[in-house]
Structure 1
Amino acid sequence: MPLTRRHLLHTAATSLAATALPSWAAETKSPLRCGQIGTGHAHAAGKMEAMRKLTNLWEVVGLAAEANDAGETAADAQKAPYAGLKLMPEADLLASPDLKVIAVETRIENSCATALRCLQAGKHIHLDKPGALEHAEFKTMRQLAEQRGLTVQMGYMLRYNPAFELLFQAVQEGWLGEITEIDAAMGKLADKSTRGQIGKLAGGGMFELACHVMDAVVTLLGRPQSVQSFSTPTQKDGVQDNQLAVLAYPRATATIRCNHADPFGGPRRRFNVTGTEGTFEIVPLESGKVNLSLTRARGSYKKGTQTIQLTVPKGRYDREFMDLAQVVRGEKALAWDATHDITVHETVLKAAGVRKEA
């Protein structure tokens, strides 16, 4: 494993421990000023709820509509968790005194251009997944942030899930030996509205949803040598609702399924890593439940198979914004850099059949 991959895994594995602020921090540090652009992303309301809840870390100064908004943001602003926030033009939000961070929660087609404007205004950003429709646009934006010393935290929530933190630790410390395979699935039974949304995307569900597990695969194994994509639609409406991607590495393969026609998609969501000395299975994906098998004892875990139930925070996105606050304050580095994010975006597009192998 290259040094850079070891460093990423080590930093990712320790990120949750680093997010637990000491009690004195809330007393001696003023909250960081932040805002949000757009409410069109599926995670937008949850991200706003997390920021407003963490009052010792964040002060939300306002909400701005995304480009070409048809009044959706104004309507959403009357609902929880936006109620009481100032609705303002994007330019006014970006010009707010001492504003440090913008959460970009627009529709995917507007997300990268919005993020670029925020960076040009000197703001750190939380950018929800998958970040852009076009790879060149994403790469340009992400490299600009790196050049200017600004943070781009991608909204891949599994990074901060305790089961994935333990997985990153297990791989970084060699518990599983050499990884030989990863098997992941992230499906759901899509309603008519969801089918309409993913039907508008060239990459379908693999692009919009399975990017979460793709980020974890790249965290563990890096850039694949090749990517094969398969799409087998279940209906005649043209929606790519049943997809498979196979990622090839020098000594491993990773298979990722995204099935939006699965009535039991939620409970079946999984992430399974197999190595020469052990297996680490997370199922269901966000449950904190881990099935760990080891050829010999590792740390506090015994040889053989055991089931571990980790405590998952109630706030799905709280850890993201706890981590981001420390990064913006200069107390730590974000584990995932521009090279990683660019690789993930390119790999997602290939897995979704949008971008072809060179």
Structure 2
Amino acid sequence: MTTPRRTFLAASCAAASSALLAPHVSAMVTGKRIRVGQIGTAHAHASGKLAAMRQQEDLFEVVGVVEPDEARRAAMQKSKAYQGVTFLTEQQLLETPGLAAVAVETAVADLVPTAMRCLAAGKHIHLDKPAGVSLPQCVAMHQLADQNGLTIQMGYMLRYNPAFITLFEMVRDGWLGDITELTGAMSKLASEGLRKDLAQYAGGGMFELSCHLIDAMVTVLGRPDKVTAHNRGTRDDGFLDNQMAVFDYPTAIATIRANHLDPFGFPHRHFNVVGQSGAYHINPLEPPQAKLALDRPRGKYAKGTHALKFERPTGRYDAEFQDLAKVIRGEKQLAWDSKHDIAVHEAVLLASGMPTQ
């Protein structure tokens, strides 16, 4: 599927990101623990996100979790991940005095509608990925957040990966020069159960998993001019298990893969950026390792190739919630605005062969 730059998105981004309001700051969170809750337990990251908030007791007070499905709620109440959690209705959670933010961890189809209700109630949100199956709904969600001075933090976890943080800084500072090439792969060998779960998404693994890499690509290169999707399904179970997308930029070509047939997928996962003055290669992604090549000295690095080492994060999601706490307290604005998030979602849908209208 090949789609040129769309006037629809340009207009939508302009509307969604015009005159960004200062973050809504409640006096109730200044200098105190931030009251938060979670809606949904069906997302693959749900238990991990809840654990990240609960473990950072100096920052957050988790007031409760919402799970409307009775059978699932009963199962979660017996699980270790949700031990000791108070289960509430959505109305009870959103009406909790002092509630500042909600982590939305529902099934993907319910993410954006749930987020809209939270935003309408005046809450910041952490929204897991990807942002639903509709670009217009995603745009409307960001418009509502911007109009109300609220923050949407998307759950693209590589944003806070130390190797990616370093890459973003180097690109920003021009260390790699003009970018000409970007490649990434997010692969694994999908079990029969995972194949069944992912078959529900028309965009396959590119939509559900490689969206993390597409977010990083847009952070480095911006919105692509054109996206061409190559999708294959090797079985008759409806799951697209071998995918690649090509993203065209004025001076760069990027490719992102999602291969769910790779028995060595995790060690093969990588993100590689090549510029006219240097290159940066992350492999594996978690825990991250990276190599930096420079054609001249930059900062503390001499000309040549360097192996970079990073401290292992204390938790996969800790850094993103620490950042969200700073945003809620008005200490900073989130580095990724609505224009970025809308561009990412359009690119994810196009790369997955899904409609954007």
Deviations 1:52-92 (A, max 9, x none): 000000000001114xx252133113322211111111100
With normalisation by structure 1, the TM-score equals 0.90
Deviations 1:122-158 (A, max 9, x none): 0000000002111111111111101110010000010
Write the distance in 2 (CA, Å) between the matches of 1:89 and 1:351: 36
Q: Considering only aligned residues, what root-mean-square deviation do their CA atoms show, in Å?
A: 1.2
AA matched with 1:35:
G
| 1:337 matched residue in structure 2 | 337
| 1:23 matched residue in structure 2 | none
Q: Count residues with an aligned counterpart.
A: 328
Deviates more, 1:306-315 or 1:175-184: 306-315
| 1:29 matched residue in structure 2 | 31
| 1:48 matched residue in structure 2 | 50
> What are the equivalent positions in structure 2 for 1:178-327 lying under 5 Å apart?
178-327=178-327
AA matched with 1:247:
F
Select 2:59's aligned residue among 57, 60, 81: 57
Deviates more, 1:235-244 or 1:106-115: 235-244
| 2:91 matched residue in structure 1 | 91
Write the distance in 1 (CA, Å) between the matches of 2:230 and 2:60: 43
Query: Retained in 2: the 8 A contact 1:180–1:253?
Result: yes
| 1:6 matched residue in structure 2 | none
Query: Retained in 1: the 8 A contact 2:196–2:237?
Result: no
Query: Retained in 2: the 8 A contact 1:234–1:261?
Result: no
SS in 1 for 2:88: coil
Query: Retained in 1: the 8 A contact 2:178–2:276?
Result: yes
> 2:112 aligned with 1:112, yes or no?
yes
SS in 2 for 1:302: coil
Query: Retained in 2: the 8 A contact 1:126–1:155?
Result: yes
With normalisation by structure 2, the TM-score equals 0.90
Query: Retained in 2: the 8 A contact 1:291–1:306?
Result: yes
Write the distance in 2 (CA, Å) between the matches of 1:77 and 1:268: 37
Write the distance in 1 (CA, Å) between the matches of 2:58 and 2:348: 36
Percent of matched pairs sharing the same residue: 53
Write the distance in 1 (CA, Å) between the matches of 2:205 and 2:124: 28
Query: Retained in 2: the 8 A contact 1:181–1:273?
Result: yes
What displacement does 1:285 show? 1.1
Write the distance in 1 (CA, Å) between the matches of 2:215 and 2:351: 12
Moved >4 Å (runs of 4+): none
Query: Retained in 1: the 8 A contact 2:279–2:292?
Result: yes
| 2:16 matched residue in structure 1 | none
Could you tell me which runs of 5 or more consecutive residues in structure 1 were left unpaired when the two chains were aligned. Answer: 1-27
Write the distance in 1 (CA, Å) between the matches of 2:286 and 2:296: 27
Write the distance in 1 (CA, Å) between the matches of 2:170 and 2:125: 30
Query: Retained in 2: the 8 A contact 1:158–1:286?
Result: no
AA matched with 1:55:
E
Greater RCO structure (CA 8 Å; 6+ sep): 2
What displacement does 1:198 show? 1.1
Write the distance in 2 (CA, Å) between the matches of 1:183 and 1:335: 23
SS in 2 for 1:81: coil
Deviations 1:186-241 (A, max 9, x none): 01111111101111111111000000000000011111110000012222222101
Write the distance in 1 (CA, Å) between the matches of 2:80 and 2:323: 24
What displacement does 1:319 show? 0.2
SS in 2 for 1:71: helix
